[in-house]
Amino acid sequence: MRNLLAFIGAVLIGSAAPGVSIAQRGLAPPRITVQSLEPLPAAGNQTRFRAVIRVDNLNTEPLKMRLIEFSLRLAHQGMIDVRMPGMTVEGLHQQFVTLEIGSEIMASAAQLLSFVQGPENTLPYELVGKVTFERGRIDPVNFSAEGQVPLVMTADR
């Protein structure tokens, strides 16, 4: 009888509830960073950039993400809301995504240049967002990151 109860308990634990979080599955959330920013010509009142975003999978198994949403703050000046399409990043790999992003409440590129630091022309940034996974049984994961991102100025500017 004791063996039967142990078996039933193991089956119940092994078939976790539908709302299993990524942490409960022993997975680390992806690490998302901004690799570079290039100012683009303004569109109306919108300050625009070409951004290269890096998504690192720190796990040995693939991460299948349906949506990555985040707010990006540059040099503590306004916010840019970003929605990245779904992707799969293989275990212990990274993926780079180039996006054109913009915001009407972001400081202009000329104003942001006054915040550039050091010979690398970097700007401080902060990210706050959420990753939604393909498998509905994995809860969305919130994330945040901060760092320095190089501001790439092309020769024709």
Phi and psi torsions of 114, nearest 5°: -70, -15
Distance of CA 157 to the CA centre of its chain: 29
**Residue 43 pLDDT level (bands cut at 50, 70, 90):** confident
| pLDDT exceeds 60 at position 71 | yes
pLDDT at 110: 84
* pLDDT tens column, 111-127: 888 999 899 999 999 99
* pLDDT tens column, 84-107: 989 999 999 999 999 999 998 887
- What is the length of the chain? 157
> Does CATH number 2.60.120.10 belong to domain 19-150?
no
pLDDT at 24: 55
Q: What are the boundaries of each domain within the chain? A: 19-150
pLDDT at 1: 55
